[in-house]
Structure 1
Amino acid sequence: MSRIEVFAPDGAPEIRAGDDLVEMVVPLVELADGDIVVVTSKVISKAEGRVRTGTRDDALAEETVRVVARRGETRIVRTRHGLTMAAAGIDASNVAAGSIVLLPLDPDASARGLRTGLRHRTGRNVAVIVTDTAGRAWREGQTDIAIGAAGLLVSEDLAGRVDGYGNLLEVTLPAVADELAGAAELAQGKLGGRPFAVVRGRADLVLPPEVTGPGARALVRADGADLFGYGAREAVVRALRGDPADRLPFGAPAPAADLAAAITSAIGLVASRSGPDGGELVVTRPAGLKRPLAALAFAHGWEVLETDSASDVRLRPARP
């Protein structure tokens, strides 16, 4: 029988800048080797002095690397941590009126510090997860995810294994740190005043004391590797604008056949292979359609080449 337990103790005091979270956790729960201690990012931020007066809009620009999508007042942005979140994870709940809480500067480092402190204080080898709440594309509601971790296998790579029917698993990578974060939130609750939780029963995921592990940063897909680097409206606008600084979120250049098919589907023109190695495309007589052609090329990671021909446009994969 497989079994896990999740418990979130009552009695946590209000956290203020400079507080020692280790001293807060230890009296609340008796830890065992292999436990996973889950802490909300809000109490980490409070202890690290990441609370300030003002509104989300006041701090949003400095916490944002790129605006991914916007709808009215809502901004979905990519943060310096690589996270894609509404309002950069800036929160105005469970804090004094007129104040906001920013995400920790380095949640993985915060998790490492807490893990080390708990080891020294209790002698127990535990893992630590720092969590925050996030929405999901195509899904209503929110769930907690891991934004920081230490001493934990944050994912289980099952690729190459065989299931009970003999099928080879090719792309199977459960994000166990996120699953644990969601489980812990069920015990903590949003309004329960229980920012700490312990998950027991997955000691197999806890690394030896001297091993830090990859951290939750390992769960962040690299910029440009995501299929959804921009929202639908933003992708159209940025492709038409064609600013080279916007290329990365569109990803690596698409195969020539994909771009040729898109050109035919979208604007009814035919692109033919060209160049000494067939690595370019040429579109003949795109009169009046050069701008949408350039946008299609940009969105697929290609660029328009300068040409002396008044009737042809040449395209090639964009160079870094």
Structure 2
Amino acid sequence: MSNSIFSSSELSMFRLAGLPDFQAGDDLAQSIIATLEANKQSLQQGDILVIAHKVVSKTEGACVELADITPSEEAIELAKQVNKDPRKVQVILSQSKRVVRAMKRPDQEEGVLIAEHKKGYICANAAVDESNADHPGQLILLPEDPDSSAQTLCARLEAHFGCDLGVVISDTFGRPWRLGQTNVAIGLANVPGVMHMAGEVDAFGRPLSVTAPAFGDELAAASGLLMEKSAKAPVIVFRGLSWPKTDSSSRDLIRAHNEDLFR
């Protein structure tokens, strides 16, 4: 694994097949180890695992039941604007620093809430989601500390396999001015979120001044090619990249408020 900007002429990736359905208290790291061994697979020096946050959230108990939620007056009023269950809106508010935009078009049955999550991510519904929940009425939240979750998982896997690894925890976000959703990095261990390439040169020898690939997000987005919601494939392994091991944080990928031209 390189200590400089990543370079690679070849990359392979595979999804880890055969993982169980996860519940609160399950040992995710041990399940990954056991499934790799059952598949006669192993992890190698420099491998990076991209893990869907929902399995992390489930094992950590970051889920709520709508039946247990009593909405506030604020949630009830906001729910009327967007035609959402006020209990779900209450959960969204509990996960948010602020609501950026609440909107419902006439052709929509249910509107959208764009919120700033407690961790700083700007996303729909403060990342509160129902897809791949265990049963109707369950909502899945982001892990309380996705970076810490990634670091704990990475340390366990490195200790077992005896090599340097990286872990990215991902979620699916929409994007301003672009249609569709893509996976992004919300938790990092060892993997740089952003590669600062100022001072390097391009293919024609011209110096780079502002180029900074979002390496963590690029890995997360690529994982979506194999991480189908219906495939029960929440762990994707990348192999063949050379990358600098860093003390990274998913906050490295969040633009500072004073740099937000559209705030």
* TM norm structure 2: 0.82
The partner residue of 2:50 within 38, 57, 63 is 38
1:109 Cα deviation after fit: 0.6
Counterpart check, 1:66 vs 2:98: yes
1:157 is matched with which residue: 196, 214, 226?
Answer: 196
Secondary structure, aligned partner of 2:226: helix
Q: Cα 1:128–1:206, aligned 2, differ >3 Å: closer, same or farther?
A: farther
Structure number with greater CO (CA < 8 Å, separation at least 6) is 2
Q: After TM superposition, list the pairs within 5 Å mapping 1:294-313 onto structure 2.
A: none
Following superposition of structure 1 onto structure 2, how do residues 207-222 of structure 1 map, counting pairs within 5 Å? 207=245, 213-222=247-256
Cα distance in structure 2, aligned partners of 1:223 and 1:56? 27
Provide the residue aligned with 1:22 in structure 2: 29
Map 1:83-98 to 2 at 5 A.
83-95=121-133, 96-98=135-137
SS of alignment partner, residue 31 of structure 2: helix
Encode CA deviations 1:143-193: one digit per residue, 9 max, x unaligned: 000000001122211112222333222210000110111111211212100
Determine which of 14, 20, 23 is the counterpart of 1:7: 14
| Structure label with greater radius of gyration | 1
Aligned length: 224
- Alpha-carbon distance in 2 for matches of 1:157, 1:8: 29
Contact 1:56-1:91 within 8 A present in 2 as well: no
Q: Hey, what does 1:133 align to over in structure 2?
A: 172
Measure the CA separation in 2 of the matches of 1:187 and 1:33.
22
Contact 1:36 1:206 survives alignment (8 Å): no
Distance 1:196 1:11, change over 3 A: same
Displacement of 1:68 after TM fit? 1.3
In structure 1, which of residues 138, 141, 144 is the aligned counterpart of residue 183 of structure 2? 144
Equivalent in the alignment of 1:52:
64
Post-superposition offset of 1:20: 0.8
Query: What amino acid sits opposite 2:173 in the alignment?
Result: A
Could you tell me which amino acid in structure 2 is paired with residue 160 of structure 1?
G
Distance in 2 (CA, whole Å) between partners of 1:198 and 1:80 is 29
Distance 1:183 1:87, change over 3 A: same
SS of match in other structure, 1:38? strand
Q: Report the Cα distance in structure 2 between the residues aligned to 1:37 and 1:150, rounded to whole angstroms.
A: 10
Q: How far apart are 1:92 and its partner, in Å?
A: 0.2
Shift of 1:214: 1.8
What is the CA-CA distance between 1:56 and the residue it aligns to?
Answer: 2.8
> Secondary structure of the equivalent of 1:113?
helix
Aligned letter for 2:252?
A: A
Unaligned runs of 5+ in 1: 230-320
TM-score after normalising by structure 1: 0.67
What SS does the aligned partner of 2:258 have? coil
How big is the shift at 1:206?
4.8
Note the 1:90-129 alignment, pairs <5 A. 90-95=128-133, 96-129=135-168
Measured on the aligned residues, the alpha-carbon RMSD in Å equals 1.4
Q: Matched residue of 2:34: which SS? A: coil
> Is the 8 Å Cα contact of residues 160 and 168 (structure 1) preserved in structure 2?
yes
Identical-residue share of aligned pairs (%): 38
